[in-house]
Structure 1
Amino acid sequence: MTKALDRQAMPYRDCVGVAVFNHEGNVFIGRRKPEDDPEDSAERGAPWQMPQGGIDKGEDPLRAALRELHEETNITAVSLLAEAPEWIYYDLPDDALGIALKGKYRGQRQRWFAFAFTGQDSEIDVETPGGGKYPAEFDAWRWEKLTRTPSLIVPFKKDAYDKVVEAFADIPQRFTHA
Protein backbone atom coordinates (compact mmCIF):
# COMPACT_ATOMS: atom_id res chain seq x y z
CA MET A 1 0.00 0.00 0.00
CA THR A 2 2.74 2.46 0.89
CA LYS A 3 4.48 2.07 -2.47
CA ALA A 4 1.37 3.23 -4.36
CA LEU A 5 1.00 6.44 -2.34
CA ASP A 6 2.26 9.65 -3.91
CA ARG A 7 3.92 11.47 -1.00
CA GLN A 8 4.08 14.75 -2.92
CA ALA A 9 0.31 14.71 -3.52
CA MET A 10 -0.48 14.23 0.19
CA PRO A 11 -1.04 17.31 2.37
CA TYR A 12 0.58 18.16 5.69
CA ARG A 13 -1.65 18.12 8.78
CA ASP A 14 -1.82 21.53 10.48
CA CYS A 15 -0.77 21.14 14.12
CA VAL A 16 0.67 22.99 17.06
CA GLY A 17 3.62 22.21 19.29
CA VAL A 18 4.08 23.51 22.82
CA ALA A 19 7.29 24.20 24.71
CA VAL A 20 6.47 24.86 28.38
CA PHE A 21 9.36 26.24 30.43
CA ASN A 22 9.56 26.00 34.21
CA HIS A 23 11.15 28.63 36.48
CA GLU A 24 14.57 27.00 35.96
CA GLY A 25 14.37 27.29 32.16
CA ASN A 26 13.79 23.58 31.55
CA VAL A 27 11.08 22.35 29.20
CA PHE A 28 8.23 19.88 29.83
CA ILE A 29 8.47 16.54 28.03
CA GLY A 30 6.08 13.62 28.26
CA ARG A 31 6.69 9.94 27.63
CA ARG A 32 4.21 8.65 25.07
CA LYS A 33 2.08 5.74 26.20
CA PRO A 34 2.72 2.56 24.27
CA GLU A 35 -0.21 2.10 21.92
CA ASP A 36 -1.61 -0.83 19.99
CA ASP A 37 -3.00 1.55 17.38
CA PRO A 38 -1.12 1.20 14.05
CA GLU A 39 -1.57 4.93 13.48
CA ASP A 40 0.87 5.51 16.31
CA SER A 41 3.43 3.04 14.98
CA ALA A 42 5.55 5.86 13.59
CA GLU A 43 5.93 7.28 17.11
CA ARG A 44 7.53 4.17 18.61
CA GLY A 45 11.23 4.04 19.37
CA ALA A 46 11.85 7.36 21.12
CA PRO A 47 8.94 7.99 23.43
CA TRP A 48 9.67 11.48 24.80
CA GLN A 49 8.21 14.59 23.22
CA MET A 50 6.70 17.98 23.95
CA PRO A 51 2.90 18.33 23.77
CA GLN A 52 1.51 18.67 20.26
CA GLY A 53 -1.72 18.14 18.39
CA GLY A 54 -3.98 19.07 15.54
CA ILE A 55 -5.54 22.43 14.86
CA ASP A 56 -9.32 22.07 14.53
CA LYS A 57 -10.99 23.59 11.46
CA GLY A 58 -11.32 27.33 12.00
CA GLU A 59 -9.34 27.23 15.25
CA ASP A 60 -6.70 29.86 15.99
CA PRO A 61 -3.25 28.21 16.45
CA LEU A 62 -2.65 29.86 19.85
CA ARG A 63 -6.02 28.59 21.08
CA ALA A 64 -5.18 25.15 19.72
CA ALA A 65 -1.85 25.21 21.60
CA LEU A 66 -3.55 26.06 24.89
CA ARG A 67 -6.24 23.41 24.30
CA GLU A 68 -3.75 20.68 23.39
CA LEU A 69 -1.57 21.57 26.36
CA HIS A 70 -4.52 21.17 28.72
CA GLU A 71 -5.78 17.99 27.05
CA GLU A 72 -2.37 16.29 27.28
CA THR A 73 -0.95 17.64 30.55
CA ASN A 74 -3.76 19.31 32.51
CA ILE A 75 -1.66 22.52 32.49
CA THR A 76 -3.55 25.82 32.30
CA ALA A 77 -1.26 28.14 34.33
CA VAL A 78 0.96 29.53 31.57
CA SER A 79 1.92 32.84 30.02
CA LEU A 80 2.97 33.22 26.39
CA LEU A 81 6.69 33.84 25.85
CA ALA A 82 7.13 33.44 22.09
CA GLU A 83 5.86 31.96 18.85
CA ALA A 84 8.24 30.33 16.38
CA PRO A 85 8.69 32.68 13.41
CA GLU A 86 7.62 30.11 10.81
CA TRP A 87 5.80 26.82 10.36
CA ILE A 88 7.99 23.81 11.17
CA TYR A 89 7.50 20.72 9.00
CA TYR A 90 8.29 17.06 9.33
CA ASP A 91 7.63 14.13 6.99
CA LEU A 92 6.60 10.65 8.07
CA PRO A 93 9.01 7.85 7.24
CA ASP A 94 8.04 5.69 4.24
CA ASP A 95 6.90 2.76 6.39
CA ALA A 96 4.39 4.98 8.22
CA LEU A 97 3.03 6.76 5.14
CA GLY A 98 -0.62 5.83 4.61
CA ILE A 99 -0.85 4.45 8.16
CA ALA A 100 0.07 7.13 10.71
CA LEU A 101 -1.94 10.37 10.93
CA LYS A 102 -5.08 8.51 9.80
CA GLY A 103 -3.30 7.63 6.55
CA LYS A 104 -4.22 10.99 5.04
CA TYR A 105 -1.10 13.10 5.56
CA ARG A 106 2.55 13.04 4.57
CA GLY A 107 3.56 14.66 7.85
CA GLN A 108 2.80 17.72 9.91
CA ARG A 109 3.08 21.47 9.52
CA GLN A 110 3.44 22.74 13.09
CA ARG A 111 3.07 26.16 14.69
CA TRP A 112 5.20 26.15 17.85
CA PHE A 113 4.58 28.27 20.95
CA ALA A 114 6.71 28.77 24.06
CA PHE A 115 5.03 29.36 27.42
CA ALA A 116 6.26 30.03 30.94
CA PHE A 117 4.69 27.62 33.43
CA THR A 118 3.27 29.80 36.20
CA GLY A 119 1.67 27.05 38.28
CA GLN A 120 2.92 24.32 40.59
CA ASP A 121 4.12 20.91 39.43
CA SER A 122 1.11 19.41 41.25
CA GLU A 123 -1.11 20.92 38.49
CA ILE A 124 0.48 18.57 35.94
CA ASP A 125 -1.50 15.37 35.46
CA VAL A 126 -0.64 13.32 32.38
CA GLU A 127 -2.46 10.19 33.56
CA THR A 128 -5.94 11.76 33.96
CA PRO A 129 -5.76 15.16 32.20
CA GLY A 130 -8.86 17.31 32.63
CA GLY A 131 -9.91 15.09 35.55
CA GLY A 132 -10.12 12.13 33.18
CA LYS A 133 -12.06 14.05 30.53
CA TYR A 134 -9.29 13.47 27.97
CA PRO A 135 -7.51 10.23 27.07
CA ALA A 136 -3.97 10.03 28.46
CA GLU A 137 -1.28 10.34 25.79
CA PHE A 138 1.65 10.27 28.20
CA ASP A 139 2.38 7.90 31.07
CA ALA A 140 5.22 9.95 32.62
CA TRP A 141 6.73 13.42 32.39
CA ARG A 142 9.80 15.38 33.44
CA TRP A 143 11.58 18.70 33.01
CA GLU A 144 14.48 18.60 30.55
CA LYS A 145 16.97 20.96 28.91
CA LEU A 146 15.57 22.23 25.61
CA THR A 147 18.82 21.42 23.81
CA ARG A 148 18.46 17.72 24.72
CA THR A 149 14.99 17.28 23.19
CA PRO A 150 16.12 16.51 19.60
CA SER A 151 18.00 13.44 20.88
CA LEU A 152 14.90 12.19 22.76
CA ILE A 153 12.36 12.41 19.92
CA VAL A 154 11.67 9.84 17.18
CA PRO A 155 14.41 10.23 14.53
CA PHE A 156 12.11 11.50 11.76
CA LYS A 157 11.15 14.50 13.95
CA LYS A 158 14.75 15.40 14.92
CA ASP A 159 15.15 18.13 12.26
CA ALA A 160 11.87 19.71 13.37
CA TYR A 161 12.98 19.67 17.00
CA ASP A 162 16.33 21.21 15.98
CA LYS A 163 14.30 24.11 14.52
CA VAL A 164 12.25 24.39 17.75
CA VAL A 165 15.48 24.58 19.76
CA GLU A 166 16.77 27.26 17.40
CA ALA A 167 13.52 29.27 17.58
CA PHE A 168 13.44 29.24 21.40
CA ALA A 169 17.21 29.14 22.12
CA ASP A 170 17.18 32.37 24.14
CA ILE A 171 14.33 31.38 26.46
CA PRO A 172 16.14 29.16 28.99
CA GLN A 173 18.59 32.00 29.72
CA ARG A 174 15.70 34.32 30.56
CA PHE A 175 15.00 32.16 33.62
CA THR A 176 18.58 31.56 34.74
CA HIS A 177 19.46 35.25 34.60
CA ALA A 178 16.28 36.53 36.19
Structure 2
Amino acid sequence: MAEKKYRECAGAVIFDRKGRLLVGERKDKPGAWQFPQGGLDSGETPVQAAWREMHEEVGITESQVVLVETIEESMTYDVNGGWLAKEGFAGQRMFWTLFLLKDDVDNPADVCNLETGVNGEPAEFTSVKFSSWDEVIGGIVQFKRACYERLAHLATPIMQANVRSTL
Protein backbone atom coordinates (compact mmCIF):
# COMPACT_ATOMS: atom_id res chain seq x y z
CA MET A 1 0.00 0.00 0.00
CA ALA A 2 1.32 3.43 -0.95
CA GLU A 3 2.27 5.83 1.82
CA LYS A 4 -0.15 8.72 2.28
CA LYS A 5 0.92 12.06 0.86
CA TYR A 6 0.31 15.14 3.02
CA ARG A 7 0.44 18.82 2.09
CA GLU A 8 2.95 20.56 4.36
CA CYS A 9 1.41 23.42 6.31
CA ALA A 10 2.36 25.82 9.06
CA GLY A 11 0.15 27.10 11.83
CA ALA A 12 0.50 30.04 14.20
CA VAL A 13 -0.63 29.67 17.81
CA ILE A 14 -0.91 33.23 19.09
CA PHE A 15 -1.50 33.67 22.82
CA ASP A 16 -1.52 36.56 25.26
CA ARG A 17 -0.06 37.03 28.75
CA LYS A 18 -3.28 35.66 30.24
CA GLY A 19 -2.86 32.40 28.29
CA ARG A 20 -5.77 33.12 25.96
CA LEU A 21 -5.55 31.84 22.39
CA LEU A 22 -6.30 34.00 19.37
CA VAL A 23 -8.52 32.25 16.82
CA GLY A 24 -10.29 33.45 13.70
CA GLU A 25 -13.73 32.69 12.32
CA ARG A 26 -13.46 31.33 8.80
CA LYS A 27 -15.06 33.46 6.10
CA ASP A 28 -16.06 30.38 4.10
CA LYS A 29 -17.51 28.54 7.12
CA PRO A 30 -19.31 30.86 9.58
CA GLY A 31 -19.10 29.48 13.11
CA ALA A 32 -15.84 27.60 12.40
CA TRP A 33 -12.93 29.00 14.45
CA GLN A 34 -9.28 28.02 14.05
CA PHE A 35 -5.68 29.19 14.25
CA PRO A 36 -4.08 30.91 11.25
CA GLN A 37 -2.57 28.24 9.03
CA GLY A 38 -1.63 27.54 5.44
CA GLY A 39 0.62 25.69 3.05
CA LEU A 40 4.36 26.14 2.86
CA ASP A 41 5.55 28.01 -0.22
CA SER A 42 8.46 26.58 -2.19
CA GLY A 43 11.72 26.98 -0.25
CA GLU A 44 9.94 28.27 2.84
CA THR A 45 10.55 26.88 6.33
CA PRO A 46 7.61 26.15 8.65
CA VAL A 47 8.56 29.13 10.84
CA GLN A 48 8.70 31.47 7.85
CA ALA A 49 5.32 30.17 6.70
CA ALA A 50 3.83 30.66 10.19
CA TRP A 51 4.99 34.31 10.19
CA ARG A 52 3.52 34.80 6.71
CA GLU A 53 0.20 33.09 7.47
CA MET A 54 -0.21 35.06 10.69
CA HIS A 55 0.35 38.29 8.76
CA GLU A 56 -1.86 37.31 5.81
CA GLU A 57 -4.77 35.92 7.80
CA VAL A 58 -5.02 38.19 10.86
CA GLY A 59 -2.75 41.10 9.94
CA ILE A 60 -0.39 40.68 12.89
CA THR A 61 3.17 41.79 12.17
CA GLU A 62 6.53 40.75 13.62
CA SER A 63 6.61 43.84 15.84
CA GLN A 64 3.42 42.74 17.64
CA VAL A 65 4.54 39.28 18.79
CA VAL A 66 7.48 37.37 20.18
CA LEU A 67 8.37 34.04 18.60
CA VAL A 68 8.30 31.69 21.59
CA GLU A 69 9.00 28.24 20.21
CA THR A 70 8.39 25.84 17.36
CA ILE A 71 6.75 22.54 18.27
CA GLU A 72 9.22 19.82 17.26
CA GLU A 73 6.57 17.25 16.39
CA SER A 74 4.54 17.56 13.20
CA MET A 75 0.91 16.40 13.22
CA THR A 76 -1.28 15.14 10.41
CA TYR A 77 -4.97 15.06 9.72
CA ASP A 78 -6.82 13.42 6.84
CA VAL A 79 -9.40 15.23 4.74
CA ASN A 80 -11.88 13.30 2.62
CA GLY A 81 -12.45 14.80 -0.80
CA GLY A 82 -12.15 18.45 -1.76
CA TRP A 83 -9.29 20.20 -3.49
CA LEU A 84 -6.63 18.40 -1.42
CA ALA A 85 -7.77 15.02 -2.75
CA LYS A 86 -7.80 16.39 -6.30
CA GLU A 87 -4.16 17.39 -5.78
CA GLY A 88 -3.32 13.87 -4.55
CA PHE A 89 -3.13 14.65 -0.83
CA ALA A 90 -4.67 12.56 1.95
CA GLY A 91 -4.65 15.63 4.19
CA GLN A 92 -2.23 18.07 5.76
CA ARG A 93 0.95 17.78 7.85
CA MET A 94 1.01 20.62 10.37
CA PHE A 95 4.08 22.35 11.80
CA TRP A 96 3.16 24.69 14.65
CA THR A 97 4.90 27.82 15.96
CA LEU A 98 3.95 29.60 19.19
CA PHE A 99 3.84 33.40 19.36
CA LEU A 100 3.25 35.62 22.40
CA LEU A 101 1.23 38.76 21.75
CA LYS A 102 3.10 41.77 23.16
CA ASP A 103 0.10 44.03 23.78
CA ASP A 104 -2.45 43.53 26.53
CA VAL A 105 -5.85 43.92 24.86
CA ASP A 106 -9.35 42.86 25.79
CA ASN A 107 -10.42 42.48 22.16
CA PRO A 108 -7.95 40.89 19.73
CA ALA A 109 -9.60 42.80 16.88
CA ASP A 110 -7.75 45.83 18.28
CA VAL A 111 -4.42 44.35 17.11
CA CYS A 112 -5.58 42.46 14.01
CA ASN A 113 -6.29 43.66 10.48
CA LEU A 114 -9.15 41.71 8.92
CA GLU A 115 -10.30 44.33 6.41
CA THR A 116 -8.70 42.66 3.42
CA GLY A 117 -6.12 39.98 3.06
CA VAL A 118 -2.50 41.01 3.35
CA ASN A 119 0.04 40.41 0.55
CA GLY A 120 -2.77 40.27 -2.01
CA GLU A 121 -4.43 37.29 -0.35
CA PRO A 122 -8.21 37.39 0.13
CA ALA A 123 -9.33 37.83 3.74
CA GLU A 124 -9.86 34.40 5.33
CA PHE A 125 -11.33 35.35 8.71
CA THR A 126 -14.34 37.57 9.40
CA SER A 127 -13.59 38.06 13.10
CA VAL A 128 -11.17 37.08 15.85
CA LYS A 129 -11.56 36.26 19.52
CA PHE A 130 -9.65 34.93 22.50
CA SER A 131 -10.46 31.35 23.53
CA SER A 132 -9.31 28.64 25.91
CA TRP A 133 -7.91 25.33 24.71
CA ASP A 134 -11.19 23.62 25.66
CA GLU A 135 -13.17 26.08 23.53
CA VAL A 136 -10.78 25.78 20.59
CA ILE A 137 -10.74 21.97 20.65
CA GLY A 138 -14.49 21.73 21.26
CA GLY A 139 -15.21 23.99 18.30
CA ILE A 140 -12.75 22.68 15.74
CA VAL A 141 -13.98 20.58 12.84
CA GLN A 142 -13.91 16.87 13.75
CA PHE A 143 -11.13 15.83 11.35
CA LYS A 144 -8.73 18.36 12.94
CA ARG A 145 -9.65 17.55 16.55
CA ALA A 146 -6.92 14.96 17.31
CA CYS A 147 -4.30 17.31 15.83
CA TYR A 148 -5.50 20.18 18.04
CA GLU A 149 -5.64 17.93 21.11
CA ARG A 150 -2.02 16.87 20.56
CA LEU A 151 -1.03 20.48 19.93
CA ALA A 152 -2.67 21.55 23.21
CA HIS A 153 -0.80 18.81 25.09
CA LEU A 154 2.56 19.94 23.68
CA ALA A 155 1.95 23.70 23.71
CA THR A 156 0.35 24.19 27.13
CA PRO A 157 3.53 23.76 29.24
CA ILE A 158 5.46 26.06 26.89
CA MET A 159 2.72 28.68 27.08
CA GLN A 160 2.48 28.41 30.87
CA ALA A 161 6.23 28.95 31.26
CA ASN A 162 6.10 32.01 29.03
CA VAL A 163 2.99 33.48 30.60
CA ARG A 164 4.58 33.18 34.06
CA SER A 165 7.86 34.67 32.88
CA THR A 166 6.17 37.77 31.45
CA LEU A 167 3.90 38.67 34.37
TM-score normalised according to structure 2 size = 0.84
**d(CA) in 2 for partners of 1:172 and 1:149?**
17
TM-score, with length taken from structure 1:
0.79
* Contiguous gaps of at least 5 residues in structure 1: 1-5, 35-43
Aligned positions of 1:1-178 closer than 5 A: 8=2, 10-34=4-28, 44=29, 47-76=32-61, 77-92=64-79, 96-97=80-81, 99-101=82-84, 103-104=86-87, 105-119=89-103, 121=108, 122-130=110-118, 133-170=120-157, 171-172=159-160, 174-175=162-163, 178=167
The answer (yes or no) to whether the contact 1:15–1:110 under 8 Å persists in 2 is: yes
Give unpaired runs (5+ residues) of structure 2. Answer: none
The secondary structure found in structure 2 opposite 1:112 is strand
* Same amino acid, percent of matched pairs: 32
Task: Give the deviation of 1:80 after TM superposition.
Answer: 1.1
Amino acid aligned to 1:111:
F
The offset of 1:127, in angstroms, is 3.1
Instruction: Name the stretch that deviates more: 142-151 or 67-76.
Output: 142-151
- Paired amino acid for 1:133: G
Q: CA deviation at 1:174?
A: 3.6
| Cα distance in 1 between the residues matched to 2:11 and 2:113 | 18
Deviation digits for residues 91-129 of structure 1, max 9, x if unmatched? 11xxx32x2336221100010011001246423022324
The alignment yields a C-alpha RMSD, in angstroms, of 2.3
Give the Cα separation in 2 of the matches to 1:84 and 1:46: 27
Letter in 1 for 2:59: N
